[in-house]
């Protein structure tokens, strides 16, 4: 059988392309494996914090509230140096709201009688009311330390992993326009890097305590907007990120 030079060249090119595709697939599989291993390690760090209550004695005398810190995975881009693909979901309150108008926060709110005194139930209910997150899609990971807000609320942060991840994508959420103006996501590891801080200052907190007030200015590539993350919200996400990445 005689194979022309042109035919041989095409055959050789096809072999190269096939080999390249196999190598690319192998590289992507290795990257996915590393990413999964890294994500599992991060989630294990958070889970080790446990779901038991972490609050001071006087917190029992305060009105209660809960917030959900929703984590979800996004496909990692090959050019990204970080192996972490965990993102955290934030909301922004409508500018016209009398209380905390325009501020960035987590889904959450005050505890209602229907919650039967359960902080987790409060967080899940509020997240469903505000952004349409189905409670069945939230895997409880950790309960962070309770915080006394400036309005004398005992606020309990509940960290949850959203499955499937698409349920937490901002474009897929059903926003309650009376409580939420916008939703956006930030890589969790972003909050471990001091270079991302716009400012940090020590302020008096409560009767004898001090509080590090962090402020982040995040440029959201999806909406083209810049969001100011500060106050209690910045404190909570910083603590979660430090725990997750063992910093």
pLDDT tens column, 225-246: 999 999 999 999 999 999 999 8
Over residues 68-84, the pLDDT tens digits come to 999 999 987 644 556 67
Work out the average pLDDT over 30-36. Answer: 49
Handedness of CA 6, 7, 8, 10 (dihedral sign): positive
Please give the Cα distance from 65 to 12 (Å, whole number).
Answer: 66
Over residues 152-163, the pLDDT tens digits come to 899 999 999 999
Examine the pLDDT at 151 and tell me if it is beyond 50.
Answer: yes
Examine the pLDDT at 141 and tell me if it is beyond 90.
Answer: yes
pLDDT interval class at 211 (50, 70, 90): confident
Of 42-56, 139-153, 193-207, where does mean pLDDT reach its minimum?
193-207
Please give the Cα distance from 136 to 225 (Å, whole number).
Answer: 31
Of 98-102, 157-161, 177-181, where does mean pLDDT reach its minimum?
98-102
Angle between helices 231-244 and 5-47 (to 10 degrees): 110
Please give the Cα distance from 28 to 79 (Å, whole number).
Answer: 12
Class of domain 47-186: alpha beta
pLDDT interval class at 150 (50, 70, 90): confident
Q: Whole-model pTM?
A: 0.84
Work out the average pLDDT over 129-146. Answer: 98
Handedness of CA 72, 135, 233, 174 (dihedral sign): positive
Structure-token match 């987590």, residue found: 106
């Amino acid at each position: 059988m005689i194979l022309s030079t042109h035919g041989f060249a095409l055959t050789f090119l096809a072999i190269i392309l096939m080999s390249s595709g196999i190598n690319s697939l192998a590289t992507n599989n290795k990257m996915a494996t590393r990413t999964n291993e890294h994500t599992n390690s991060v989630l294990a760090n958070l889970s080790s914090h446990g779901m038991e209550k972490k609050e001071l004695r006087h917190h029992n005398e305060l009105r209660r509230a809960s917030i959900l810190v929703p984590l979800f995975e996004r496909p990692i881009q090959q050019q990204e140096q970080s192996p972490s693909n965990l993102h955290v979901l934030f909301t922004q309150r409508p500018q016209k709201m009398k209380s905390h108008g325009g501020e960035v926060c987590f889904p959450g709110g005050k505890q209602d009688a229907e919650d039967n005194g359960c902080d987790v139930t409060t967080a899940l209910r509020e997240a469903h009311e505000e952004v349409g997150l189905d409670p069945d899609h939230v895997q409880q990971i950790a309960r962070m330390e309770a915080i006394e807000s400036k309005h004398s609320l005992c606020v309990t942060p509940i960290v949850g992993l959203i499955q499937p991840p698409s349920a937490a994508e901002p474009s897929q959420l059903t926003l309650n326009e009376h409580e939420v103006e916008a939703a956006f996501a930030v890589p969790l590891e972003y909050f471990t890097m001091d270079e991302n801080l716009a400012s940090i200052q020590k302020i008096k907190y409560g009767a004898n305590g001090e509080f590090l007030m962090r402020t982040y200015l995040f440029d959201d590539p999806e909406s083209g907007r810049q969001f100011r993350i500060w106050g209690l919200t910045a404190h909570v996400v910083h603590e979660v990120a430090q725990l997750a990445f063992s910093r």
